[in-house]
Amino acid sequence: MSRPTTILDTALDAVGNTPLIRLDRIAEHEGLKCNLLGKVEFTSAGGSVKDRIAKRMVEAAEAEGKLIPGKSVVIEPTSGNTGIGLAMACAIKKMSLEKEAALRGLGAEVVRTPNGVASDAPNSHIGVAHRLEKLIPHGITQILELNVGENLQVSVDEMLYPERLNKEIQLYQEKKRGMMSSVFSAFAFLPLSKAYGSEAEYDVFKKRLLSDKTLTGTEAEKKEFEFLKQWLADPKRAHVEYALVISFNVLELAYPDSALARLRPHRLCRPLAAPAIDPAYLKNPIDVDIVVAGLKFCRRMIATPPYSDAKCVAYDPPASMETDEQLAEFVRAKMEPFYHPISTAAMLPREHGGVVDPNLKVYGTKNLRFADASVIPLMLSAHIQATVYAIAEKCADIIKAAHV
C-alpha cells in the first residue's frame, strides 16, 4: 500500500492511511504458507489504532449535532490511547504521567481518579465521567435514569451436597433410577404457623420478627420490609414450599422477596459486562430460622405415617445433624437460587425505585412497556409462570384499549 503523496488538510486526514508491511521472515520462521502482513498503526497521527475510533466517534457525534465546535465538552473515562486519539480529534475540531502530559498537551483537561477501585464505584474513572457528564453543560447526557436491575429478587432452595448429587447422577446414568429419573410430582405451600413445631415456637418467632429493627434501606425497602413482617406473621399465608420428587422431598423458600436480606446487583457502565451481584442470602438470621423450621417440619413429616411406614431416610441434611445450630450451619452452606428472577424493572412508584407504572409503561416514555417477570415487585408465594402469563394478557388488554 503506497502512502498518499498529496498534502493533507489536517492530521485527521492521515488517520487510517497507515502502511501494510510484508512480514516474510516471520512467516518463513513459523512455516506459514500465506502472505503475512503487518499494519503499522504507530504511523497514525496520534500513534495508535485508537485514532480510528476516536475520529469516527467525534465525526459521527458532530454529524448528529451532538457535538458543537467551540461549545461541546467530550468526557472520556480513560488514561490510554483512546483518550489521546479523542484529545487530538477534539483539538483539531476545536472542540500514566507521560500519557497524561500528552493529553494535556493536546488540550484536554485531565481529572485523575484512584487506581484499584471497582469500575462501578462512584470515584472510578467511569463513575467520575458520569458525574462530570451531568455537571458540565453541553455534555452528552442520557435521556432517562431509572432503577433498572437494582431490585433483583429470586427464590432460594436447599441443594444437595456435591457427594450426594454425584451419586444420584451416577445412579441415573447406570440404572435410570433415583432422583434424576423423575420430576416434581407434587407441591405444597405451607404457612409458618404449621412449619413451626408448636404454637409457642411460632409465637416466639413472630415476636422476634415484628420487633426486628435491623431491616433498613431505602424508603421503598422500609415499606417492603414492614409488609413482609405482616405477611410472614399471617397464619393464612403460604411461606415455605415443599416439592415432592418421587421418594424425595425438596424444600424451597416461597415467601415474598425470598429473603429479608436483599440481593444487591450493581450495573456496570459497559453494556455487555455482567452485573456485579451480592446475593446476600441469609444475611438476616430470621431467614435462617425460617428455613430451619421448614427442615424440621420435613423431619416430622417423614416420621409420621404413611411416610414412616416406608422407612424414609434423611439425606440432606443427614440425621446426624440434630440441633438447630447444626441445621442452621447446613442451611448457610447449601441454600442456592432456584432461578425465578423477578423485579429488575419493578412496578413501583418512580420515587421508590420503580421502572414501570400501573399500566406497565416505562416512566418517562410514551409507548415503551415491559410485560414479563421483571415488573413483579415482590417474590410471590407461588411459582411465577402463571403470573407472567397473566401480566402478558393484561398488557395486551391495556394496549388494545388504548387503540380502540
pLDDT tens for residues 194-212?
889 899 999 999 998 888 8
Average pLDDT over every residue of 99-115: 71
Measure the CA–CA gap between 347 and 375, rounded to whole angstroms. 5
| 250 and 186 in a common domain | yes
Residue at 151 is within a domain: no
| pLDDT (0 to 100) of residue 255 | 44
| 317 and 170 in a common domain | yes
Identity of the highest mean pLDDT range in 110-119, 249-258, 327-336: 327-336
Q: Give the tens place of pLDDT for each residue, 270-329.
A: 455 666 777 777 878 888 888 899 889 888 888 889 888 888 777 778 889 989 999 999
* Higher per-residue confidence, 239 vs 360: 360
Residue at 227 is within a domain: yes
* Higher per-residue confidence, 251 vs 394: 394
Q: Which of 75-79, 348-352, 378-382 bottoms out in mean pLDDT, i.e. has the lowest?
A: 75-79
Percent of the chain at pLDDT > 70 equals 80
pLDDT tier at 223, thresholds 50, 70, 90:
confident
Q: Does residue 259 have a pLDDT over 60?
A: no
Model pTM above 0.75? no
Q: What is the mean pLDDT of the chain?
A: 78
pLDDT tier at 391, thresholds 50, 70, 90:
very high
Q: Give the tens place of pLDDT for each residue, 49-76.
A: 788 878 888 888 888 888 776 666 677 7
Q: Give the tens place of pLDDT for each residue, 121-135.
A: 777 878 878 777 776
| 183 and 96 in a common domain | no
Q: Give the tens place of pLDDT for each residue, 148-180.
A: 887 888 777 666 667 777 888 898 899 988 777
| 108 and 195 in a common domain | no
| 211 and 309 in a common domain | yes
Q: Which of 41-45, 263-267, 343-347 bottoms out in mean pLDDT, i.e. has the lowest?
A: 263-267
| 308 and 161 in a common domain | yes
- In the chain, the number of structural domains is 3
Residue at 229 is within a domain: yes
Residue at 310 is within a domain: yes
Average pLDDT over every residue of 368-391: 90
Residue at 332 is within a domain: yes
Average pLDDT over every residue of 67-89: 71
Q: Does residue 392 have a pLDDT over 90?
A: yes
pLDDT tier at 3, thresholds 50, 70, 90:
low
| 304 and 168 in a common domain | yes
Domain residue limits at 9: 1-141
| 129 and 23 in a common domain | yes
| 172 and 55 in a common domain | no
Percent of the chain at pLDDT > 90 equals 14
| 205 and 308 in a common domain | yes
| pLDDT (0 to 100) of residue 254 | 46
pLDDT tier at 346, thresholds 50, 70, 90:
very high
| 199 and 115 in a common domain | no
Q: Which of 26-35, 216-225, 231-240 bottoms out in mean pLDDT, i.e. has the lowest?
A: 216-225
Q: Does residue 387 have a pLDDT over 90?
A: yes
| 130 and 11 in a common domain | yes
Residue at 146 is within a domain: no
Q: Does residue 359 have a pLDDT over 90?
A: yes
